Amino acid sequence: MRIELLLNGEKHLVEVQPPELLLDVLRETFGLTGAKPGCRNGDCGTCTVTVNGWPMKSCLMLAAEASGQAVVTVEGLGDADIQQAFVDKFAFQCGYCTPGFIMNIHALSSKHPQADEATIRDWLQSNICRCTGYEEIRQAVVSVLEGKVKGM
Amino acid sequence: MKAIGRSVPKKESFDKVTGVAMYTADKVEARMLHARLALSPYAHARILSVDTSEAKQVQGVKTILTGDVSDVLIGEEIRDRPIIAREKVRYYGEVVAVAVADTEAAAKRAAELIRVEYEPLPVVNSPVDALRQDAPILHDKLGEYENEGRAVPVPGTNIASVNRLRKGDIDKGWKESEMIAENTVWFMPSDHAAMETRSATAEIRPDGYVVIDTSSQVPFTVKKYMANYFGIGSGWIVVQTPLVGGAFGGKSAIFLEPIVYLASKAVGGRKVKIVLTREEDMASAPVRIGLHATVKLGSTLDGYIKAAHITYRFDGGAYNDKSSDVAKAAVIDCSGPYGIPNLACDCFTLYTNHGFAAAFRGYGHSELTFAMERAIDALADKLGMDPWELRFRNAAVPGDTAPTRDLLTPSNLGDIKTCLNRLKILSEWEGWQVRQIDAYRIRAKGISCFWKNSSMDTDASSGAIILFNPDGSINLETGVVEIGTGTKTVLAQILAERMRMSPERIHVKLTVDTRTTPEHWKTVASRGTLLAGRAVLKAADDAIRQLLDIAACVLRADPEDLVLENEKVFVRADPSVNIEVREICYGYVYPNGNAIGGQIIGRGHYIQRRMNPLNPVTGEGTPGPEWNVGAQAVEIEMDTRDCSYRLMKAISVNDAGKVLNPEGARGQVMGAMAMGLSFANREGFDYNEQGMVLNPTLRDFSVLRYDENPSYIVEFIETPCLDAPYGARALGEHGMIGMPAALADALSRAAGVRLNQLPLYPETVWRARMGYSHVFL
Ligand code: FES
Ligand code: FES
């Protein structure tokens, strides 16, 4: 079937199989391998992208369901504050979980620029990082949110 | 411009935050074939027949491989493992067949249609079971297997290896002891759960080159063993490894490479790719070792330990792989960081019907530390002595001997007492150890202490090549795999410091290609900084000598009068006479066009001096370069009604020798602490009575998430190791080693019962409080 994807700001017409996951179409059709498979079961968040600005695990969405919606992957971020914050705060080691965290936090900072600790905790529960103790990730989130709040 | 001691961001930082960083499975090529595995649903069974006829009908299927395809047995210590199961399966998730097809979907469908008929056999479900008189024997040909000579198997039993260690006079030790404490601990195998599952591709080129891409910590070991197993000249094997998405020891075993190689061979050499699903990565691929251990300690009434007898029964799983070597590492350091004069250790690595064990971060050390530290706590209880004080009194110091009888020196041993002293202050140990918060909640602290030497091959070596660019910057190539530890960046810092230039001017090659990259033994044992670091220093010296030689011609000075600083070569006594490195690093051109020199290429290698293998009966030998040490504490808050608890605070004081990259080092230690806590708190395979794994997903095998972490305190002390670059000791694994013991200590204090079993689910704590014992005892 043919779907229309608004992917990283560009419109694409693409042929997909009905059971194909958004994750696989992103990776295989578009070569956007920033979205990573970690479980294909919704458990780990390494495949997180945004759909209409909300974080979405791309292994839990069929490509067909994404038709007509705005999908952004880590490759489409340009340079978001959170990317620099991750570098500054040493918020990754192996980097495999990083695109997923970044997309999640990027959405968080635009949906809840004044997020409190509880909201941050809630949102970040969906992603696993096996390398860090999450402390550096927390610092990166906080620094971005503080930057946002100051900028308003 | 100091390069050492500065938090230089990882060289691959921007690749990683923008999604362009490539891992093995990210490579997609149009003509690639895809492989999927068919796995055993039984933990122990005879294979009666394999019917692939239906599977072959699936459109797009190229071939189906079964055990018949190769009778090669593989294994680094004992060659006991078929690449694809033959005759028998010995663990749940063992590979019984492989489907290769045009698409992954077709390969998957075909794999599902492979019909295997089994005759189930009784299972060995724990190391204690494995030793029973009537235990089913997993390997009846154990005596016939090829053996590298380091494992000591006992044919006719499930014992894959026996290692013993004796130091001092144990009988005398018991005679001098006025108090005896004995304690038994146990835990099941568990998983590495790196976020990137294992993957590999293989291709056999028309000219005969075998090219393997693999998500591995050990590309050079893959090359060596592929050559051995299949009789291919090692020069014909090319192993490539890009960035690796977490490894933790799990990617130091050879697993997928021979499978994809056979698959490629079966389809005329075409490139075949395999990517494990999470379930396969957990159930089928190598796991973390399990343990059942008893430690008996004897001390004087004032707490000086005179004797220790340690008995390990390691759950090595269905095949030996590295489990007997992990076990040996636990023997080497069996006493923990204590100067115990009389020691005996008996170590059994056992075959069970569980997944086979590979290395896990810590290589036997969080295992041995859990056993020893819980015994120390039991002894402290019996003596009525403060557990910190008992540890401090017995801490090993230079002049003591290690269990292997190596003499401990200020260089090869970190400073345990200073670590303990700092821990006492940071944890406010003297203030309180347990206190009631309200009617139901109790807070408690626990401590532990550890050491670790590495157990390396005695000829483990590493090499480095540095190449200048015309702009005077340097390309650095080493065989260390970038698994997330930031070692490649630290190596750039080491190089920059020696070359007296900025680390930003060093470009590192992040990927490994065994055809051109100098060999680095294995990216394991936290030894990248020592082995590759020394090789880098040697390469730097080699390049400096060449730079000074050519500068000497141009400046008409003796090379001995020249110094290198800030990308210039100066005459020491007259800095106004100088030349920029970029004018000479690609050869120097005189005004008339004549030229001398050429691109400067520096090379270096390093091999650890004077190591020798362990005597399997006495445990004598020199296993590694140095014992790094640390002391740790955990604070928890428990609800006495249901024994649920929260991790409040975790502290680690490590002797880093020298901190090369402060933020990087802190991150390594914190991440390892989190992993140790996660392991102790909740990780372990849930085997049913038939040995099936019930929780091979990240939903059921949960790991610590964001808000479950305690606050972390990490502190370093610096006692230099004279052999290491700038004195730096190993660091990557050490944050995790003492965490399980410290957590168990804290919880035991809160619960008022001694907890010796992992993971410490609230239910486990509750059962212990109620006096229920575990099914496996
Ligand atoms: S791959 Fe999508 S949540 Fe794990
Ligand atoms: S950095 Fe490796 S999983 Fe997060």
Residue ranges per structural domain of chain B: 31-121+196-245+251-283, 290-456+611-770, 460-607
Query: Is-contact B739 B676, C-beta < 8 A?
Result: yes
DSSP character at residue A61: S
Q: How far is the CA of B502 from the centre of ligand 2 (A)?
A: 28
Nearest to B738 by CA among B649, B665, B626, B631: B631
Task: Spell out the domains of chain A, with CATH numbers in brackets.
Answer: 2-75 (3.10.20.30), 81-145 (1.10.150.120)
Picking from A6-10, B145-149, B241-245, B317-321, which range would have the lowest pLDDT averaged per residue?
B145-149
Q: How far is the CA of A57 from the centre of ligand 1 (A)?
A: 6
Q: How far is the CA of B704 from the centre of ligand 2 (A)?
A: 13
For residue B773, what pLDDT band results from cuts at 50, 70 and 90?
Answer: low
Report the 10 Å Cβ neighbour count for B180.
13
Q: Kindly report the nearest CA distance between residue B660 and chain A, in angstroms.
A: 15
Please write the tens of the pLDDT for every residue from A1-47.
999 999 999 999 999 999 999 999 999 999 999 999 999 999 999 99
From B23, B195, B483, mutation site for ligand 2 pocket: most ligand atoms within 8 A of C-beta: B195
Q: Kindly report the nearest CA distance between residue A119 and chain B, in angstroms.
A: 11
Please name the helix (run of DSSP H) or strand (run of DSSP E) that holds residue B54, with its range, or none.
helix B53-57
Q: Does the pLDDT value for residue B358 go beyond 90?
A: yes
The distance of Cα B700 from the centroid of its chain, to the nearest Å, equals 24
pTM: 0.97
Crossing angle for the helix pair A117-124 and A135-151, to the nearest 10 degrees:
130
The dotted CATH code for B290-456+611-770 is: 3.30.365.10
Cβ neighbours for B706, distance < 8 A, ≥ 6 positions apart: A121, A124, A125, A127, A134, A137, A138
* B437 within ligand 2 shell (Cβ under 6 A): no
The one-letter amino acid at B501: M
Q: Where are the beta strands (DSSP E) in B428-486?
A: 434-436, 441-452, 461-468, 474-478
User: Kindly report the CA angle at B498 between B5 and B662, in degrees rounded to 5?
Assistant: 10
User: Token digits for B86?
Assistant: 């033959």
- For every residue of B94-133, DSSP letters joined together read -EEEEEEESSHHHHHHHHHH-EEEEEE-----SHHHHTST
Chain B's closest residue to A76, CA to CA, is: B18
User: Token digits for A113?
Assistant: 């620029």
| B484 lies within 8 A of chain A by CB | yes
For residue A152, what pLDDT band results from cuts at 50, 70 and 90?
Answer: very low
User: Token digits for B188?
Assistant: 């099941």
**What is the rounded CA–CA span in Å between residue B724 and residue B735?**
20
Q: Does the pLDDT value for residue A148 go beyond 90?
A: no
Q: What is the mean pLDDT of residues A123-146?
A: 96
**What is the rounded CA–CA span in Å between residue B569 and residue B495?**
17
Q: Does the pLDDT value for residue B103 go beyond 50?
A: yes
- For every residue of A8-21, DSSP letters joined together read TTEEEEEE--TT-B
Question: Do the two domains B290-456+611-770 and B460-607 of this chain adopt the same fold?
Answer: yes
**What is the rounded CA–CA span in Å between residue B257 and residue B226?**
8
* A112 within ligand 1 shell (Cβ under 6 A): no
User: What value does the mean pLDDT of chain B take?
Assistant: 96
Q: Where are the beta strands (DSSP E) in B131-235?
A: 159-167, 179-187, 199-204, 210-214
User: Which ligand approaches the C-alpha of residue B670 most closely?
Assistant: 2
User: Which ligand approaches the C-alpha of residue B23 most closely?
Assistant: 2
Query: B246 and A75 in contact by Cβ < 8 A?
Result: no
Please write the tens of the pLDDT for every residue from B527-576.
889 999 999 999 999 999 999 999 999 999 999 999 999 999 999 999 99
Report the 10 Å Cβ neighbour count for A4.
13
User: Which ligand approaches the C-alpha of residue A46 most closely?
Assistant: 1
Strand pairing report for B73-74 and B81-82:
antiparallel
Nearest to B632 by CA among B291, B295, B366: B366
Q: Which of A39, A86, A90 is nearest residue B698 as measured by Cβ atoms? A: A39
- CATH topology for B31-121+196-245+251-283 is Aldehyde Oxidoreductase; domain 3 (3.90.1170)
**What is the rounded CA–CA span in Å between residue B26 and residue B21?**
9
Q: Does the pLDDT value for residue A150 go beyond 70?
A: no
Q: Does the pLDDT value for residue B774 go beyond 90?
A: no
DSSP character at residue B774: P
Q: Does the pLDDT value for residue B525 go beyond 90?
A: no
Query: A75 and B19 in contact by Cβ < 8 A?
Result: yes
Q: What is the mean pLDDT of residues B144-151?
A: 93
Is the peptide bond preceding residue B759 cis, with omega within 30 degrees of 0? yes
Q: What is the mean pLDDT of residues B585-591?
A: 96
Interface test with A, best of B243, B523, B701, B706 (most A CBs within 10 A): B706
Q: Which atom of ligand 2 is nearest to the CA of A95?
A: 1
Predicted pLDDT of residue B777: 36
User: Token digits for B51?
Assistant: 């019917």
Please write the tens of the pLDDT for every residue from B279-296.
999 999 999 999 999 999
Q: Which CATH architecture has domain B460-607?
A: 2-Layer Sandwich (3.30)
Cβ neighbours for A121, distance < 8 A, ≥ 6 positions apart: B706, B707
What percentage of residues in chain B have a pLDDT greater than 90? 93
Report the 10 Å Cβ neighbour count for B577.
16
* A59 within ligand 1 shell (Cβ under 6 A): yes
The one-letter amino acid at B330: A
DSSP character at residue A66: G
What percentage of residues in chain B have a pLDDT greater than 70? 99
Q: What is the mean pLDDT of residues B718-722?
A: 96
Q: How far is the CA of A96 from the centre of ligand 2 (A)?
A: 5
Strand pairing report for B73-74 and A70-72:
unpaired
- For every residue of B269-299, DSSP letters joined together read T--EEEE--HHHHHHTS-BBPEEEEEEEEEE
Predicted pLDDT of residue B522: 85
Q: What is the mean pLDDT of residues B50-78?
A: 97
Count how many residues are written for chain B: 777
Q: How far is the CA of B602 from the centre of ligand 2 (A)?
A: 34
Q: Does the pLDDT value for residue B342 go beyond 50?
A: yes
Chain B's closest residue to A97, CA to CA, is: B195
Query: B28 and A27 in contact by Cβ < 8 A?
Result: yes
**What is the rounded CA–CA span in Å between residue B690 and residue B126?**
11
For residue B775, what pLDDT band results from cuts at 50, 70 and 90?
Answer: very low
Picking from A78-82, B129-133, B734-738, which range would have the lowest pLDDT averaged per residue?
A78-82
Picking from A131-140, B389-398, B487-496, B525-534, which range would have the lowest pLDDT averaged per residue?
B525-534
